[in-house]
Chains A and B, each alone.
Chain A
Amino acid sequence: MKGFDVKVENVSRAYGNFKALDDVSIEIKKGEFFSLLGPSGCGKTTLLRIIAGFDSPDTGIVLLDGKDILPLSPDKRQVNTVFQSYALFPHLSVYENVAFPLRLRKVPHAILDARVKEYLHLVQLEEHIHKKPAKLSGGQKQRVAIARALINEPSVLLLDEPLSALDAKLRQNLLVELDHLHDQIGITFIYVTHDQSEALSISDRIAVMNQGKVLQIGTPYEIYESPATDFVARFIGETNLFPAVVKACIPYEDYYMTTLDIPALGAQIKVTDYDDLPEGQHVSFTVRPEKLKITGDKPTRVGKDINLFKGIVEEPIYSGFQSKYYVSLENETVVKVIQQHANYMDEGPDIDWKDQVYVSWSAEDGYIVEVVDS
């Protein structure tokens, strides 16, 4: 791995009364593809700007390869940025944009030319070298920005929502390209995004942020399957989330079979958990829509660790490869269910609007998100 590790320690930054970053600590490993994920205003861009050197924290330190970089101006840091709006120089051609950092360092012409062509080749833009940025499409501008940021051979590449201005299809393609690029050059990438699917699909690890705080740091599947807070559960993917109270907690194989009382459902459900929770403890419970099973007929064999509810389909949303149903359970609590269409369907999905259905899930598929003190 050629990249450097980045350590952010207890960084806070306030603008007047607004706390953009509130005691943030993150350790990013060498060569990692690390994402900062959160809604707008969560502080992710502020953190990126602090690492790049465009902003400085009120307290805390930032270490690059173990060295404090906060005293260095942006041009002295081995970090380069791909800006959200690309920030290409409109008066320079594609070639000159990419050559800009080398010209500043007065690199001899022969070396400069070879390097610029190498990086334009890397991002597949050789044919457009003499065009001005205004003549390029969004995706091409994006690539120029990446080539320009990489030509200085930084140890860390910062990407500030680089795909947000592009349409969905192109975004998917560029995401794959970005992943290849990361594998190819092996430096540390720090990627800022508000798009959870982007972050999940490309990152080695993700830090989920909200209101200036880091809520959870983990691999994409850790964040999706075991969200640390209600906010993370709701922000990443879709979910059904309920406040609940622990009724019983019985050791079961190597975990605990927990019975939860869920007021919203007016019922008790079972969920497995690794913690021995005391009776009466308030928690939040989540189960992802795709983990719920929906059937028209009542399932014949129901195991004792299956949660089963009867309901009415309020809103079926068919989208080809899957259908999403909003099912109103007996006391009018609505849950989301996603059904994959794995088999060929001659006559469309067999569940329709206002059908009576059964929704079920195994105790192992639910997850206790957060212990709420009360």
Chain B
Amino acid sequence: MNNLQQEKRGRRLGITYSAPMGIWLTLFFLIPLSIIILYSFLKKGLYGGVEWEFTLTAYKQMLNPNFMRVFWRTLWVATFATVITILLALPCGYAMARSRHQVFWLGMVIIPFWTNSLIRIYAWIAILSSEGFVNETLRTLGIIKESLPLIYNQGAVITVLIYMYIPFAILPLFTTIDKFDFQLLEAARDLGASKPESIVKVLMPNIRGGIVTAVIFTFIPIFGAYTVPLLVGGKDSYMIGNIIVDQVTKTRNWPLASAFSLIITLVSTLGVIWMMATAANESARRKTPVKVVDSSGGSE
């Protein structure tokens, strides 16, 4: 009985301890989110803002084929860029984990964060534009006469998105691969696996947690991206993020902007739930208290 009371007190203490976090989340996450949800069901005000009248107009407007095209494009761009990012980040993380100069490589990955992301995007404009570094170099070398269309298209958007978010993929991959016991690869080879087989059958399953984290860390921000398509994209590079900005600042359709924000939040939340489910599986598999099992079995 005493135990039970203690448990209750423990639970009450838990609430006290979690209060700061709870208040923080309520103020900066729950309340804004509620406002967004609420606004998406209201009527748009004439000069921005909303009128207090329940309507599903925003969601009906969302089904406009133009918007749907942007939605599918965003999904496609985010998926494609994420896959490429992970495929590039995996060998990077692997090389870093096996390198003797880990701190140096970590520094190289982190240094770009010291510069504002807008400045880094403008740097890409300087590299890719028709008078930019790449085109000028190729022209000087006499390889091309006319500038290549390297910027203001889908390719530029994907390239810059990959550049922006690859550190977020490399870091979690590096940490998991760093913890991986490389002798397992030798064991696999010893038992008859070729090099690719040892990677696919032994390395990959053991770093799944890191891959999932890397996917989440890249997919979610890319899905909500708006500066990159705005600055290096063309007419057909619009993403959901751009629609939201337009609806708030130009069209003044706040309910529609809210509805699109909600879509981004929903897609992201689904991603996080997936990640947590995978992580839970992982820890259930790994962190079960290590019992020295004798053949007779316990009383449990």
Contacts and interface: CB of A to CB of B under 8 A. Distances in A.
Interface of A: 52-54, 73-75, 79-81, 83, 85, 87-91, 100-101, 104-105, 127-128, 131-132, 134-137, 140, 148-149, 152
Contact of A90 (B189, B197, B201, B286): B286
Contacts of B184: 87, 89-90
Interface string B262-300: 000000000000000000000001101011111100000
A87 B183 CA distance: 6
A132 B293 CA distance: 12
A85 B286 CA distance: 17
B293 A80 contact: no
Interface string B170-214: 000000000001011011111111100100011001100000000
Enumerate the 6 nearest inter-chain pairs by beta-carbon distance, A residue then B residue, closest first: A87-B187, A101-B191, A74-B189, A91-B205, A137-B292, A87-B183
Nearest to B285: A132
Interface centre among A83, A87, A148 (most CB of B within 10 A): A87
A105 B183 contact: no
A91 B281 CA distance: 11
A83 B192 contact: no
Contacts of B291: 135
A201 B205 CA distance: 41
Contact of A152 (B192, B205, B286): B192
Interface string B203-247: 001100000000000000000000000000000000000000000
Given A85-B181, A90-B206, A140-B293, A104 B286 contact: no
A87 B186 contact: yes
Nearest to B295: A127
Contacts of B201: 100, 104
Nearest to A148: B191
A354 to B, nearest CB: 46
B295 A89 contact: no
Given A85-B181, A104-B192, A152-B192, A134 B186 contact: no
Contacts of B197: 104
Contacts of A88: 187
5 contacts: A53-B189, A54-B186, A75-B193, A80-B190, A87-B181
Given A74-B189, A104-B197, 19 more contacts: A54-B186, A73-B194, A74-B190, A75-B191, A79-B190, A83-B187, A87-B181, A87-B184, A87-B186, A88-B187, A100-B188, A100-B201, A104-B201, A131-B293, A135-B288, A135-B290, A136-B293, A148-B191, A152-B192
Contacts of B187: 81, 83, 87-89
B293 A89 contact: no
Contacts of B292: 137
A105 B202 CA distance: 16
A53 B201 CA distance: 20
A100 B191 CA distance: 8
Nearest to B207: A91
A140 B194 CA distance: 27
Contacts of B192: 75, 101, 104-105, 152
Nearest to A137: B292
B183 A83 contact: yes
A202 to B, nearest CB: 22
Contacts of B194: 73, 75
Nearest to A104: B192
B295 A104 contact: no
A70 to B, nearest CB: 15
Contacts of B206: 89-91
B183 A85 contact: yes
Contact of A52 (B190, B193, B288): B190
A149 B291 CA distance: 25
A101 B187 CA distance: 10
A148 B187 CA distance: 10
A161 to B, nearest CB: 13
Contacts of A101: 191-192
Contact of A75 (B183, B189, B286, B290): B189
A101 B191 CA distance: 5
A309 B183 CA distance: 55
A294 B52 CA distance: 106
B101 to A, nearest CB: 17
B293 A134 contact: no
A228 to B, nearest CB: 33
B279 to A, nearest CB: 15
Contact of B293 (A87, A137, A149): A137
